[in-house]
Amino acid sequence: MKIGIIGAINQEIKTLKKIIHPYIKNNISNIKLYQGKFKKNIIFLIKSGIGKVAASMSTMTLINLYQPDIIINSGSAGSLNALLKIGDIIIPEKTCYYDVDLINFGYALGQVPKYPEKFIINDKIYNFCKKNTSKYELKCTKGLIVSGDSFIRKNSRIKSLKNKFPHAIAVEMESAAIAQVCYTFNIPLIVIKSISDLSDNSATFNFKKNISIASFQSAKFVKIILENLNNM
């Protein structure tokens, strides 16, 4: 099986690089790609860069060059749920953009024309992930994760996002863009994130303090998925 893994920044791929070591490193323009193995599977690990466009370009590059059987988006997110704490793992059932607004043309908030209102994670894949969280006694939360090109760092922004997307549990900057590309090319997607901050007035400080913890937590669960993926 060929598996693509996408993380936005160095911290989000650091542990994953160790998992697939030894690897071959390639630079494709600004995209850094590491090709290695885990058990019998070929792994293509990409550092995409931050934001929706960077994530889309990296996903498209991954699909065009290597035709992965499945893509995993691993990394960090800011909490929008009071029950989520730093280091908690989230496995969203669906994702959408929070900064797309075409409601005056009859679309739902966050919906891109000609695409579904939300990008839904495949039921079989989601249930497989949920089964493994129970098996390894990991605390994981399901729900909606929203993406946009801003780092959310104010209590007022949290309130606004919760009003617009009451079912959202977390916010970040890449997963919906990756999901849109995967949807277009019919590639199964798993999104695994860990909480780095609470998206509040202290978010910048907490992100810098906790990004390594969050990245390690998400990578830890990615490894569990890789260990069991062939049994899905």
| Residue 26 near residue 33 (C-beta atoms within 8 A) | yes
3-state secondary structure of 136: coil
Residues classed as catalytic: 12, 197
In 3-state terms the chain splits into helix, strand, coil percentages (rounded to 5) of: 40, 30, 35
Residue 172 is assigned to a ligand binding site: no
Residue 232 is assigned to a ligand binding site: no
What distance in Å separates the CA atoms of residue 61 and residue 3, rounded to the nearest whole number?
Answer: 14
Residue 148 is assigned to a ligand binding site: no
Q: Distances from the Cα of 205 to the Cαs of 49, 130, 201, in angstroms?
A: 21, 31, 9
Residue 174 is assigned to a ligand binding site: yes
Q: Which of 121, 98, 118 lies closest to 172 in space, CA to CA?
A: 98
Annotated binding site for substrate: 78, 152, 173-174
